[in-house]
A = this chain, B = another copy of it.
Amino acid sequence: MEASPAPGTQARGDGREARLLLGFDFAGTFVFAVEGAIAAIAGGLDPLGILVLSFTTALGGGILRDLLIGAIPPNAIRDPRYALVAFGGGATVLLLHRFVSFVPPALLVTLDAAGLSLFAIAGARKALDFGLRPLMAILMAAITGAGGGTVRDLFLAHVPTVLRADIYAVAALSGALVMVVGQRLGLPSRTMAFVGGAACFALRVISVWRGWNLPHLSGMGRG
């Protein structure tokens, strides 16, 4: 991602980088769609429900962000390739569902963390491009990264897992914070996008690996 751009070159102005970013976006969409489909199967849904959850898990966060920042119609509605990638992820799980239980959880966590990083950084950048203030752009990173999974959980009548002790939205927020702060300090935009994404990825993977959670409030709980 670091091709030492000429000063003043917009990141999106470069056709080769734009294609690269689009490729990352589709990769994240595919991974999230696979996860949505796996959750749908665990919830006892049938093929249509599996495809619906693939779509909403993969694209719900970006659609919600686009509605909120005024990018209407949302990108995932305007460009049919997003839906095709999401349905492709769901269909892959449908075809291979007998083998899903053999996928190592560590692989799923790693891919999901990669998708989260891509969505968080892309979400914050798009929000900044649409004129949002830095704080709100950072929140949009969390909505982009965790919004789809939240809709998925609502559809499955669960309390969204993002609300329960987990370094997930926090990783998205942290990565976006790193990126936004770096940019305001005048550091190069692409470098900071990369550093922010790496921070999000590392925080998420390490938190799962080490069992990190947000601190509980003492004297509280459901019990």
> Which residues of chain A have a CB within 8 Å of any CB of chain B?
40-41, 43-49, 52-53, 63, 67-70, 72-74, 77-80, 83-84, 94, 97-98, 130, 132-133, 135-136, 139, 150, 154-160, 162-166, 169-170, 213-217, 219-222
Contacts and interface: CB of A to CB of B under 8 A. Distances in A.
Given A156-B159, A157-B159, A220-B41, A214 B46 contact: yes
How many chain copies does the complex carry? 3
Looking at A41, A72, A159, which has the most chain B CB atoms within 10 Å of its CB? A159
A77 B132 contact: yes
A73 B63 contact: no
A155 B165 contact: no
Given A68-B73, A69-B77, 4 more contacts: A46-B164, A46-B216, A49-B163, A80-B136
Given A43-B159, A162-B52, A213-B46, A83 B220 contact: no
A83 B41 contact: no
Given A72-B70, A163-B53, A83 B136 contact: yes
A221 B98 CA distance: 12
Nearest to A72: B70
